[in-house]
């Protein structure tokens, strides 16, 4: 029965790990959308007659920030459930330790994805021919 349990755990690890990575990518992209809405709000502030547009852009910014936080939380919890570290600890202590480690790694992965995406976006806006 041991090989079947190992195979089941391996499949669970890879599926939850893939979900955690996808949620980290979603967190990065939603955070970039949040920053974009902040830029829109900054551009519209001070313009006459654009108060309604500023309010709408601020609502969208709040939505994107909330989505980013939800994706980060989902990524952290999913990675904590997939993590094999501290197998001999008590259940609550094991989950809290795994959550701290996975939240840290999820944040690092999210920042790396956001930086790579932002660099690719910025590079695509530069002119090749001067």
Report how many domains make up the chain: 1
Nearest-CA neighbor of 51 among 41, 60, 61? 41
Number of helical H runs and strand E runs in the chain:
3, 0
Q: Does 74 map to a domain?
A: yes
Band of residue 128 on the pLDDT scale cut at 50, 70, 90: low
Residue pair 72/110 in contact (Cβ under 8 Å)? The answer is yes
By residue range, what is the domain housing residue 71? 2-125
Q: Does 82 map to a domain?
A: yes
Q: Does 81 map to a domain?
A: yes
Torsion of CA 103, 109, 115, 121, to 10 degrees: -120
Q: Does 130 map to a domain?
A: no
Quick check: 125 pLDDT over 90? no
Q: Does 67 map to a domain?
A: yes
3-class secondary-structure state, position 64: helix
Q: Tens digit of pLDDT for each residue in 54-98?
A: 999 999 999 999 999 999 999 999 999 998 888 888 999 999 999
The confidence score (pLDDT) of residue 1 equals: 46
């Amino acid at each position: 029965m041991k090989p079947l349990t190992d195979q089941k755990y391996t499949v669970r690890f890879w599926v939850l790990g893939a979900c955690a990575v996808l949620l980290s990518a979603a967190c990065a992209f939603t955070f970039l959308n949040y920053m974009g809405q902040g830029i829109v709000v900054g551009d519209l502030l001070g313009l006459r007659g654009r108060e309604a547009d500023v309010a709408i852009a601020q609502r969208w910014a709040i939505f994107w920030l909330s989505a980013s936080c939800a994706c980060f939380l989902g990524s952290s919890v999913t990675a904590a459930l997939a993590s094999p570290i501290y197998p001999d600890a008590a259940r609550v202590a094991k989950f809290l330790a795994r959550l701290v480690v996975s939240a840290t790694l999820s944040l690092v992965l999210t920042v790396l994805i956001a930086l790579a995406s932002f660099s690719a976006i910025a590079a695509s806006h530069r002119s090749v021919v001067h």
